[in-house]
Amino acid sequence: MTQLDAVYAFVTAFAVAALLTPLTARLARRVGAIDQPKSRGLGRDATPLLGGLAIGAGALVAALIFLDPSARTHDRLLGILGGALLITVVGAVDDRFDLHPAVKLLGQVAAAVIPVAAGVEVTNITLPFAGAIDFGSAGAPVTVVGLVAMMNVVNFSDGVDGLAAGVCAISAVAFSIIAFDLDRSYAAILAACTAGAATGFLLHNFPPASIYMGDTGANLLGLLLGCIAVEGAVKTQAVLALVFPLVVLAVPFLDTTFVILKRMKYRRKVYVADANHFHHRLSRIGFSERRTLAYLYAWTLLLGGFAVALRFIPYSDHHGHLHTGWSVVVAALALLVAAASVYLVYVLEIVKLRRITRRRRPDATEDEVDAHVERTMETGEFEALGR
């Protein structure tokens, strides 16, 4: 399996998902799987769900055509596809009948157990300056927890047209490049299938969306990305193996972490949705849906590019010796990414919010403006602000 196979897999998955998405929209309307506008959401009209069925079909068709697993990886691939099929069914039922959170969690755990039982398991990781850490018998449950967390991370971030599909597509492309370089070609091809299917669906999901992926697609993409991260990076002996997925998926991880901590701080139920995600906050300070996507896509691209750079820049000989010049380059890139991240999640909101507050409250003093901004940033409860 070569890089050219990955390109063909991407194109095939893209075409299948793009062609099937309108059919899944018709199916969703027929069975009543319709998302109604919610006060916390950014959607304005009743929109069909079940877009994840087209994503799953695109990824599956491409995988069956272009994946030729070895005897060593055959069972793991079947496990991934089996888990993907189960979570797609669970998600579709949830999109239609709105399952209880405990039932959804049980379905996620069951779907994660299938690939882990087939060998998609992290038994040890290699950390910089710490060496190898062996999980032993805890490897399987740790991996299941990680896969379930990944499903929920994607699900939590799916709150504005085009966001989850675009971020997952960008992340999958980054994983594909990294996996090829780590000689994990079957994980790289699977990542290309995932990226192509998400991008094909995005044709119909970009604002204004004609269909949503629903829990069907969010859980499926989360499981696939989690398995790809395990098989394509974390299970290798690369020193930064664990760092790659954390950097590539930093945007949805940070978003989910921020929201969960906020709910815990104010004693809200963690699993009850609210409107404090990054995309909600950007919308409330005046960003259009497309501008919100542009910023979050750019942030994801920046982080994904940095993860790829970490793999390709020869800053180390992999035996504990650093090359000064290239290490400086990596450090500079890290500072750039960190600065951009701080700007996007903090400075951007404060600066624009302060300007809008002054415009809406011309008689307020600087201390009053600062107090208002601080209170708003602390609680996450923005006023409805114009563009």
Which residues define the annotated binding site for Mg(2+)? 155, 215
| Longest distance between any two alpha carbons in the chain, whole Å | 73
The H-assigned helical ranges of the chain are: 3-31, 51-66, 74-97, 101-117, 139-157, 163-181, 185-205, 214-229, 243-248, 250-265, 278-284, 289-312, 324-342, 348-360, 366-379
Q: Exposed/middle/buried for 265, CB within 10 Å: 0-12, 13-18, 19+?
A: exposed
What is the token pair recorded at 54?
Answer: 């087209």
3-class DSSP string for 276-324:
CCHHHHHHHCCCCHHHHHHHHHHHHHHHHHHHHHHHHCCCECCCCCECH
Q: Taking the CB of residue 164, how many other CB atoms lie within 10 A of it?
A: 27
Residue type for position 266: Y
User: Distance (Å, rounded) from C-alpha 192 to C-alpha 112?
Assistant: 21
Residues annotated in the binding site, as ranges? 155, 215
Please report which helix (H) or strand (E) contains residue 124, including its range: strand 124-127
> 124 forms bridges with which residues in the sheet?
134
Residues whose CB is less than 8 angstroms from the CB of residue 43 and which lie 6 or more positions away in sequence, other chains included: 35, 37, 161, 209, 212
Asked if residues 53 and 61 have their Cβ atoms less than 8 Å apart, the reply is no
Residue in this structure with the two tokens 């062996």, named with its chain if needed: 134
Residues 366 and 361: their CA atoms lie apart, in Å, by 11
Q: Under a CB-based contact definition with an 8 Å cutoff, are residues 21 and 201 in contact?
A: yes
Structure tokens at 86: 């189960």
Instruction: Name which of 196, 230, 203 is nearest 61 in CA terms.
Output: 196
